[in-house]
Amino acid sequence: MDTNLNNQQAAQAASSAQLAYLGDAVLEVLVRRQLVLNNAPHPSETALSYVTAAAQSDALERILPHLTEEEEAIYRRARNSVHANVPKRATVAQYRRATGFEALFAYLHLMGDTDRMECLFRLAYPDIMGPEP
Burial class (CB in 10 A: 0-12, 13-18, 19+), 52: middle
Catalytic (active site) residue 24: yes
Measure the CA–CA gap between 36 and 53, rounded to whole angstroms.
Answer: 22
Rg (CA), the chain: 15
Asked whether the beta carbons of 81 and 99 are under 8 A apart, the reply is yes
Catalytic residue among 24, 113, 115, 127: 24
Closest CA to 77 of 55, 61, 99, 95: 99
Residue 87's SS3 state is coil
Neighbouring CB atoms inside 10 A of 43's CB total 16
Residues labelled as active-site residues:
24
